[in-house]
Structure 1
Amino acid sequence: MTSPGRFTDTGLFVCFEGGEGGGKSTQSRLLKDWLESEGHRVLLTFEPGDTAVGKEVRRIVLSPQTGELSNRTEVLLYAADKAEHVDTVVLPALERGEVVITDRYVDSALAYQGAGRVEDLSGVEAVQRWATRDLRPHLTVLLDVEPAAGLGRFEERDRIEGESLEFHQRVRQGFLDLAGRDPGHYLVIDARLPIDEIHELIRARVVGLLGQVTS
């Protein structure tokens, strides 16, 4: 595996991860609203797709019309999205001393393109870490959901959501393995809990990190 990575001295970087249908977008917005009510400057972002380059990547990797891609091609496309995202969105906001909340980051590539596709995890990680300048979140919130339950929330599925249940089970285990490797930087929550209860657990953890926010 690669180095332990680096954490910025300015701003606070929080990432939401997990399988499909776990409530990442909902909890990201709730955290943003609460932080802003407390007077913090917050940037809410997501991967893939929150840059002009990323929108093109998102169209390719998620459209069912794309069909089959080489696993390595998929890894590199996601890495390109992350490189542009970090350089033009995430790092500038952190340097301004803001709280950056992202819906998906490097762990999604490791879980989906590594564990899900059964690719060499060390190779996938090396590419993603290089693309993101080895920038790590101060906290990753993993909303853990059993794949059959999470996927059941979608009437229509994109190219990744439409993969087999076995694929998504490998993805889930990939996320859990990542959290197990570095428990100090993760908060693992059962996504079946009530929305308000999940939010309270996240708030309690983030409160302890807010002292790191400097400009």
Structure 2
Amino acid sequence: MKEFPPLGMLNVHENLLEALLELQAYADVQAVLAKYDDISLPKSAAICYTAALLKARAVSDKFSPETASRRGLSTAEMMAVEAIHRAVEFNPHVPKYLLEMKSLILPPEHILKRGDSEAVAYSFFHLQHWKRVEGALNLLHCTWEGTFHDVSVYPKKELPFFILFTAGLSSFTAMLALLTHQFPELMGVFVKAVSIKVVYNYKTGNGG
């Protein structure tokens, strides 16, 4: 499995991560992540949250939110928090399952990336690995609650004004067309009245 080239095509690397975590072969897990946790490759909850788990493992056994809040985060703790932050950005549904705020069920047949179904599938097979690393779920909980970062939900984008304006103009035009079709005589009177007012304002120099 390690040597098979197109692992990403079949998501076999995710099964490999799970098997290596079960063996607690964390160095091998890191090696797989180094190969597949690349910006040019498709992401998944398994990749993002496993990367966060390994970063958390380096600091979570001695981690205390009270101490960290008082003295600030160390470099290693900051790296762990940022890794968790990136994982939550990718799929914000996972923490509630890992923290057992939502009941785990059998994963569905079809998995939607970044969706609740992926969160269920990931947590169902990986919760035990988080529990095995002392303090990892505590660090996840603190970070997810926003103790150290304001966790945003991915994706969160505001629509540009041009798109909103175009949509509004299209809706207004469609409404005029519908009214003209339904009430041609009434709309004719309305258009004529508006035209007279525009001409009058132009001749008198009145902008109102």
- Fold shared per TM-score above 0.5: no
Q: Which structure is higher in helix share?
A: 2
Q: Which structure is higher in strand share?
A: 1
TM-score, normalising length: structure 2: 0.34
TM-score, normalising length: structure 1: 0.33
Higher relative contact order (CA 8 A, sep 6+): 1
